[in-house]
Amino acid sequence: MKKILSLLIIAVLLLGIMTGCNVQTKDQVTGGNTSETSNEPVDLNLLAMSSMEKDANILRDQLSKAGFNVKLNIQPDYSSYVGQKDAGNYDMAITSWNTVTGNPDYAVRSLFISNGDYNDYGLVNEEIDRLINEAATQTSDQYVATYKTFEEVLVKENAYIIPLYSNYKSQAVNNTILKVDSVRLSKSRSLPWENVDFIDESKGNSEPLIFSQTMPSLTSLDPIKGNDGSINIINTNMYVRLVNLTDNDEVTSVGSLSHNHAIGEGNTEYYFILRDDINFAKVDNKKAVDSGELVAAEDVVFSMDRARNKDSVPDHRTFTLHSSMEKIEIVTDLKELESKKQSGNASSIKDGLEAGLSTTIKELVADKAQVSNKDGKYQVVKITTNKPFPQVLNYLAHQSAGIVSKKQIEAVNTYNVATFDRNKDVAYGDQMTITEGATYDNTLMTSGPYIAIYKNDYEIAFQKNPGYMISTSHEPKVSNIVVKFIKDADSSLSAFRSGEIHFLYGIPEDKFEIVENDSKLTLQKRPNNAVVYAFFNMKGGSEFSDVNLRKAILYNVSQEEFIAVYNNLKINAYSTVTPLVDTGNIHLKDHSKANEFLNMYWESKE
């Protein structure tokens, strides 16, 4: 009996020594893999904005359980997040992408093609480039297989991204103040402010409509210099475009600068007949005034040329979206419209452009001073693409295709792009020019329904463009809009419920029930095109340039856990293409694969 007791004591002591040791074994790190190639956990610096802190915590917990040493780098806003990313202070970062144009090319080109606007993390893959360009020329019934292969190369073969989930687009309306049916919820398009109206319509000229947004730092009010949540909604409502998207992502001319558009045979020529009831707005003594300058064909040509030219402005963030455009020109020969046929249609381009017009085309003019739609004098712009590319219309509906004033841009942007110095040169659309104080010098001229008047630390104010589609259904219903800067989601909801703001974008899923149980609030939601994912820093000899290490992380991530945390109000995703194209690809956590790839990574380090 004493001998047995002694053996038990020795066993307990040995166990205590082992469990007291702080060094993890390889078995502990890999969750059971018995290879002895290493016993060190992999350090991982995970970057995210505070608005995605919950996602960062879920991902950290999953990877920590798998043996990774995860350190969170949570930044308070988008500007700070970008600063950390640009400085390379991350191994993996969480982000989201919303395909606001409703077409799959937008879901991939800027993010994953070599040298894309938002591909600044070291992804270079010739096969991915080829697949993106191939799919861009295909119709919707053809590109499903191409995008399926693209996703497999992006995720399965290389683990360039870690898909986390897709989600619902949500917003809520105070139904005691606003007409609920005037507040549209589109799948992709930002909310058109000009449609929103008070229940008491008399308030439209006397009281401001009040929204909120989380990001107080605005990237740029020049539509081609930003493509993020700080300005997408704002620039969409400050600059008109050649076409729009319907609430279900169909391209339409309704509410745009064009009466109609038509596609020529071969899908490389796109024609737009312009309306003549939109003038640029400008700001005078903090008041929106009609500049008297027609938004015309020369402004369209200028705007599209600078949109497609990478070197037209410093830090151009949207040029790849418009790289398919080879030539933009004003059509003055009426015979061209009469002789050319529409794509898939026996009728002429002229027939397509004239559909529904009260006055037919009698003359095409280049000079904006000669335009008179009621007299049959129109302007027509033609865009020619470098290859058949119907998706160009979706890009023309994007905020970056907003029409700017040629005259004003050339007057303001007198700097040399190659030697631009942000410390002394002032670019059109810089937020400091509308910020109250010493830097205020509002030089905006906007073609859309609203123009920004001023900005401070607490809000940005807009006024109705007095020269925008007057006496039509698209004339803005409300004269003044104020967007409050409220960073915290709970604070935004509190302000909304108390009536301080009339409308709230982006209701968190765990707050749906609160809104639905409040009789004065109406929740609107639908699946949208946004996908949340993580990507790696693969620049400068990063450890995460190793594909096996990335795959080890990929297969340790469970989307089902994310969805469960969000009460099943998230949707599985495989890539940013998922909401637009059903490729059949799905991501599943696989513990054995994760261990296999982690083991291969360690072996390569020996």
**Token digits of residue 403:** 């029409």
Whether 541 shows a pLDDT value over 70: the answer reads yes
Name the H helices within 284-442: 297-308, 334-339, 349-354, 392-396, 406-412
- Assigned architecture for domain 28-167+528-605: Roll (3.10)
The secondary element (H helix, E strand) that includes residue 126 is helix 126-136
pLDDT of residue 147: 97
CA distance 325 to 268: 9
**575 falls in which pLDDT band (50, 70, 90)?**
very high
Question: What amino acid is encoded at 9 in this protein?
Answer: I
pTM above 0.75, yes or no: yes
Domain 178-501 fold: D-Maltodextrin-Binding Protein; domain 2 (3.40.190)
Cα distances (angstroms) measured from residue 79 to each of 55, 96, 97, 218, 487 = 19, 15, 16, 9, 13
The secondary element (H helix, E strand) that includes residue 598 is helix 591-605
Coil vs helix vs strand at 505 = strand
pLDDT tens figures, 128-173: 999 999 998 888 888 999 999 999 999 999 999 999 999 899 999 9
The domain locations on the chain are 28-167+528-605, 178-501
Greatest C-alpha distance within the chain: 113
Question: What amino acid is encoded at 384 in this protein?
Answer: T
pLDDT tens figures, 238-257: 999 999 999 999 999 999 99
Cα distances (angstroms) measured from residue 207 to each of 174, 200, 204, 372 = 15, 11, 6, 35
**597 falls in which pLDDT band (50, 70, 90)?**
very high
pLDDT (mean) for 255-274: 97
**202 falls in which pLDDT band (50, 70, 90)?**
very high
pLDDT of residue 47: 98
* DSSP conformational letter for 153: I
